[in-house]
Structure 1
Amino acid sequence: MSSFGRSLSKEVPASPSPSSQSPARPGPPGRHYKARSISRASLDLSNSEHGAFLGQTNLDDLDDPPSSSSAYPPPSSAASLGRTASRRSRMPLGPKRLAFFLLAAVGLVWLLGPTQRRQDVTTYVNDKAGQVLDKTPWRRPGNLGLANDATDMPPPNSPGFVPPASSSSSSAQPGAVRERPPLHPDPLKTTRCDESSRLAKPHDAKGNVRPLVQYAVMIDAGSTGSRVHVYKFNYCSNAPELEDEYFNLVIGGLSNYGTQPSAAADSLRPLLQNALERVPKQLHGCTPIAVKATAGLRLLPGEQAQHVLDAVRTMLETEYPFPIADGRDSRGQRATKGVEIMEGKEEGVFAWITVNYLLNRIGNSQGHEAETAAVMDLGGGSTQIVFEPAFTTASQGMQPGEHVYQLKDFGARSFTLYQNSYLGYGLMQARQSVNSLAAFTYSLAHPNAVRTGSAHTAADAGPLDWSAMTPDNTRIPSPCFAAGKTKAGTITQPGRADRASVTFVGTEGGFAACRRLVEVMMDKDAVCSARPCSFAGVYQPSMMQTFRTAPIIALSYFYDRLQPFGLAPEFRIDQLAKLAEKVCAYQPDATAGRGAGEFSAEAQKELEDRPETCLDLTFMHGLLSLGYELDGDRKVSIAKKLGGTELGWCLGAQLAVLEEEGLLCKAPTPGAALSGGSPLLAPAA
């Protein structure tokens, strides 16, 4: 397999991507659904974990105008199971039906046919039944065949454990969530295959045979804490298949120890001990490790950040058996990417790899040419978007620049991606910007109303005392807060580095009034030097033209804010607008006609705890519809986990390490902690 590479390109060739078609989703009995155009992608993420997709809310309710009789039912796992079973019951011919017809045929022949014919038919039916069972995932007797049934598989070490067929999950249909194979009782083995069944043993780019089982360690050194991910993969085919992920964390990031580099390194020891215990001792020396720090270390002054990274590297090299996955630079020389401050753009790209790998759209051994999914990640200070645009002609290709990101020879394919991080457009920053705009416009219309201190009178024309503002003496009305609700918030002013804290009072302006503030904040009319532009003058290929049918997956705050309102696992842009209208019109007094009866208990709690929910949903709608110019019927899926794996950058970064590094081993050094030794040990290149 070729090595993994990434680079910024100045000339991007056209790379048309084939279209994928999604069948129309059947609805519940008694309801009629018209066929949906294949120009809009529909992604089934109902197998996701931890409550994200336990039920499918009836989103057609959002098409009704706001009224007291229109309710948002809470997600219901029972309803979801019922619908799933209903859909399966209408499948053309499943294994159960086939088995039923085969048994019926046997019975008829046995009763009516001659002896020789009975024997021939019985033998034929038994052979066919065996083939069907060999192709059907093993399930415990009595299982309904539902993908999210918790009784699918007994523990690997239980008496009832039966390994599944040796087919690889990478041969599953692209777009289907990867299902992990059951863990083997022996951590050095896999239930997917064994050495004798690996007919063509995969090799890395350097010609080394890939191990049957590969462990890898990734440490996410964030600003508030550090987290370890210990992954187990198998190489039953050319592409790695994820089998298990162990996760743990410690509170307190590396940036907390800016003046104490050795203490910063020591803070990772509990996580490294976890890794030593989770990885079989025999494989310690061939388990690559990487430590990726994010924004926290960038804030340290002077050389403090580099001193911390140097201390971490020295500790790993001298005291632990894991080889550091440093990768190579653009000239092919050994780099230092194994312990580094990760660039912001790589977070988005690695999250894109994670999502598309778990959806089996990249990194499968069959080389499926499936359309890749776009990933939108909404953080607190910035929002990222990564997608693979498809151009019909070479002249329509992407403009050169830092927004171009190339993945070379990743899973036998190369990808030219558009990526951008929109600084200042994360959810927390958007709140502050909209609040500041509300305060500014109010001060223009009512210059004396926001003046503070007893010296100010109606005739006072002096400058506004910015430093005197407090939540107690300054109240700003805002349509982006629930009517009658109050909450303290911060505002900024052009040309000032400090912030003021005031109290915002919700008005009855509703969604339309709040949207006007959001639209101004989006800066859609900024100068666009290279067309087309999304917003704030940033170049971005049109998603409606270059990304017409593939799915869009929204992460982080998209999920956190929309899931309580049942807008999962997917929604249309116009459905988000209707939800925002209802949320912005919410009043807890049921006599007002827009009270508690419209929302589930979880949604009501969200509205009571977060008076700014109207602002959050209106901004999300503005970002998708005005910023990215998605049509009202375009679908977006929200997710937190897929196939038991959290959606973030860590898995994608780890897959990139495996592709780029290949087999990486570290020779034991005197004093290495619990190094054990490995039959695969070889000097790291």
Structure 2
Amino acid sequence: MLMNLLSFLTASIFSSSYAIPVAGPDHGTLVSRSSSCWKAIQARSIGSVASYTDRCSTSFDKTKPIVEYVLIVDAGSSGSRIHIYKFNHCKESPELESEIFDSTTPGLSSYAKDPEAAAKSLDELLDVAAKNVPEELHACTPIAVKATAGLRLLGDKESQAIIDAVQCRLEKSCPFALVKDNGVEVLDGKSEGVYGWITVNYLRDSLAVNASDITAATFDLGGASTQIVFQPQNGMVVADVAEKYLLTINGRNFELYQHSYLGYGLNEARKAIFHQTIQDATAMDETIDVHELETITSPCIPPGQNQSVRLQVDGNTKEYHFVGKEKPCAHECREITDEILHKNMICAVAPCAFDGIYQPSFQESFPKGDLYLFSAFYYRTKQLHLPAPFATGILHQFEENICAADYSQYPPELAKELSKDSQYCLDLNYISSLLERGYGIPKSRKVYATQELKGIELGWTLGAALPLLEHHDCKIEKVGP
């Protein structure tokens, strides 16, 4: 299936001519930004807005304000974050000037039985936005709430109830311009991955007309899902399946490979690993009753450490207590993390990466170019102070040491931190398995595991914000000089 979700970017994000519809508080007649309505807003606020950037004193295009803000709420499985993006129009193309973000926990999916509480949980994030966006720009600052894998896992009925509650609350009490139609939605995995790819390559200046043909590949690891997106090289093409994604930006056509693996995010992978550990234990001793089992030895827990996990097994939910083995078994943990990738699943369209999903050989289709890992890939490796970039194979030595509870060669502060983190052995093994065994990245291939690029946080949110500079309505309370 061919997708062209962002084809409108061809003549928008990097173009100097566009019209933005503006709506009144009663959702009345839409008018373009070049109308007297928008000019009135500009005239009313130009004195104060001009002081909000030191990049220029006038807009490149007189129909555009000097400064614009875009708000994106990332409603993830573990919590919600608001990203406050500030753009200026000093040049022909909009320039991202700064980003501010804040977060709250738990995520919207934690309020499955109370949609109203889910909606109210975003109030503190809106307060942060209200303090950081000039008041005179509130009415024309677009806001969108995009829920990711956490709500996808809830089911249609419960997730839609939360979506409806959030939309209702924002329409009634939010001072910002809620994007119409898809202002509050569950972001599908394809869009999440591609938006992340756009973010990285936009910040690398790889999407400009005269940019190099080599773009970066991106890998995202969230709590519930993981995404891969790259542009095949050497004339290789993506098969005509759901993983093929056609994208047009600034007159350039990009044929991407993308896939979002729901259930393979770090939180879900941990559950799968513990489930597999229980399954392996009962397979070794058929006399064990899984419902009476409470303490299980795990090769993914370092010696002397333990981890309590609440799991649903055979329809019953209870707390299981996992303890480390007396002798180090990093290779046994790796066997489990490899196993949960289901490399032996039926592959309908070859070649497949894992879980029976089609993917061109990564090494053959992307032999050169930068690889960016973000989200949990970064958060679970940053303590190790790895070089930038680093070869993925370097993680194996850390796995051997950490899974053996051998912290002697690490600085005291890091050793103390690792000794208290009973899931670090598991997480590193899963990350290695996912990158090498799953996605097919050679151990010698170097990657960037980073949280930001040019001072801007990586992820899908910036990629989702860019189109909103072009396509949003204004909530106008009063128009006048």
TM bin (shorter chain): 0.7 to 0.9
Partner of 2:461: 650
Mapped contact 1:229–1:245 kept (Cα < 8 A): yes
Mapped contact 1:565–1:600 kept (Cα < 8 A): no
Change beyond 3 A, Cα 1:505–1:305 = closer
Change beyond 3 A, Cα 1:431–1:224 = closer
Mapped contact 2:75–2:148 kept (Cα < 8 A): yes
Change beyond 3 A, Cα 1:498–1:234 = same
Partner of 1:402: 242
Partner of 1:543: 362
Gaps of 5+ in 2: 8-46
Residue 41 of structure 2 corresponds to residue 6 of structure 1 = no
Mapped contact 1:212–1:236 kept (Cα < 8 A): yes
Mapped contact 1:284–1:677 kept (Cα < 8 A): no
Residue 230 of structure 2 corresponds to residue 387 of structure 1 = yes
Mapped contact 1:321–1:666 kept (Cα < 8 A): no
Q: Which residue identity does 1:231 align to in structure 2?
A: Y
CA distances 1:19-47 after superposition (whole Å, capped 9, x unpaired): xxxxxxxxxxxxxxxxxxxxxxxxxxxxx
Which of residues 600, 606, 610 is equivalent to 2:421?
610
- Corresponding residue SS for 1:629: coil
Q: What CA distance in whole angstroms lies between the structure 2 residues aligned with 1:414 and 1:677? A: 41
Q: What CA distance in whole angstroms lies between the structure 2 residues aligned with 1:513 and 1:261? A: 42
Indicate the RMSD between aligned Cα atoms, in angstroms: 3.4
Q: Which residue identity does 2:308 align to in structure 1?
A: A
Partner of 2:411: 600
- Corresponding residue SS for 2:418: helix
Mapped contact 1:281–1:677 kept (Cα < 8 A): no
Which of residues 576, 579, 601 is equivalent to 2:395?
576
Which TM-score applies when normalising by structure 2? 0.79
Q: What does 1:252-263 align with in structure 2 at a 5 Å threshold?
A: 253-254=107-108
Which of residues 219, 223, 237 is equivalent to 1:376?
219
Q: What does 1:374-453 align with in structure 2 at a 5 Å threshold?
A: 374-392=217-235, 396-408=236-248, 410-448=249-287
Q: What CA distance in whole angstroms lies between the structure 2 residues aligned with 1:307 and 1:489? A: 29
Which of residues 306, 324, 343 is equivalent to 1:505?
324
Mapped contact 2:228–2:258 kept (Cα < 8 A): yes
Mapped contact 1:486–1:505 kept (Cα < 8 A): yes
Say how many residue pairs are matched.
Answer: 440
Mapped contact 2:281–2:296 kept (Cα < 8 A): no
Partner of 1:211: 65
Q: What CA distance in whole angstroms lies between the structure 1 residues aligned with 2:268 and 2:169? A: 37
CA distances 1:390-440 after superposition (whole Å, capped 9, x unpaired): 242xxx4212222223333x3443322222122332233333333333443
Q: Which residue identity does 2:53 align to in structure 1?
A: T
Note the C-alpha offset of 1:541.
Answer: 1.4
Which of residues 285, 288, 291 is equivalent to 1:467?
291
Q: What CA distance in whole angstroms lies between the structure 1 residues aligned with 2:285 and 2:56? A: 73
Change beyond 3 A, Cα 1:187–1:237 = closer
Q: Which residue identity does 2:274 align to in structure 1?
A: N
Mapped contact 2:86–2:98 kept (Cα < 8 A): yes
Q: What does 1:481-500 align with in structure 2 at a 5 Å threshold?
A: 481-489=301-309, 496=315, 498=317
CA distances 1:269-315 after superposition (whole Å, capped 9, x unpaired): 44444434433344334322212233455566775654554454455
- Corresponding residue SS for 1:243: strand
Q: Which residue identity does 1:369 align to in structure 2?
A: S
Change beyond 3 A, Cα 1:391–1:338 = farther
Mapped contact 2:338–2:433 kept (Cα < 8 A): yes
Mapped contact 1:221–1:292 kept (Cα < 8 A): yes
Q: What CA distance in whole angstroms lies between the structure 1 residues aligned with 2:113 and 2:277? A: 41
Mapped contact 2:75–2:107 kept (Cα < 8 A): yes
Residue 193 of structure 2 corresponds to residue 343 of structure 1 = no
Q: What CA distance in whole angstroms lies between the structure 2 residues aligned with 1:442 and 1:186? A: 65
Change beyond 3 A, Cα 1:603–1:251 = closer
Mapped contact 2:247–2:255 kept (Cα < 8 A): yes
> Which structure dedicates a bigger proportion of its chain to strand?
2
Q: What CA distance in whole angstroms lies between the structure 2 residues aligned with 1:305 and 1:277? A: 30
Which of residues 541, 552, 570 is equivalent to 2:371?
552
Q: What does 1:58-137 align with in structure 2 at a 5 Å threshold?
A: none
Note the C-alpha offset of 1:268.
Answer: 4.1
Change beyond 3 A, Cα 1:502–1:357 = same
Q: Which residue identity does 1:488 align to in structure 2?
A: S
CA distances 1:530-578 after superposition (whole Å, capped 9, x unpaired): 1111112111111111111111111122222222122243211222223
- Corresponding residue SS for 1:6: coil
Q: What CA distance in whole angstroms lies between the structure 1 residues aligned with 2:277 and 2:161? A: 44
Mapped contact 1:188–1:280 kept (Cα < 8 A): no
Mapped contact 1:490–1:500 kept (Cα < 8 A): yes
Which of residues 86, 91, 98 is equivalent to 1:237?
91
Mapped contact 2:78–2:223 kept (Cα < 8 A): no
Partner of 2:12: none
Which of residues 467, 480, 485 is equivalent to 2:300?
480
Gaps of 5+ in 1: 9-183, 203-208, 327-335, 449-463, 588-594, 680-685
Partner of 1:666: 474
Deviates further, 236-245 or 277-286 = 277-286
- Corresponding residue SS for 1:467: coil
Mapped contact 2:351–2:360 kept (Cα < 8 A): yes
Q: What CA distance in whole angstroms lies between the structure 1 residues aligned with 2:152 and 2:370? A: 34
Change beyond 3 A, Cα 1:375–1:582 = same
Q: What CA distance in whole angstroms lies between the structure 2 residues aligned with 1:185 and 1:360? A: 31
CA distances 1:108-154 after superposition (whole Å, capped 9, x unpaired): xxxxxxxxxxxxxxxxxxxxxxxxxxxxxxxxxxxxxxxxxxxxxxx
Q: What CA distance in whole angstroms lies between the structure 2 residues aligned with 1:429 and 1:317? A: 33
Identity of aligned pairs, percent? 38
Name which one, 1 or 2, has greater alpha-carbon Rg. Answer: 1
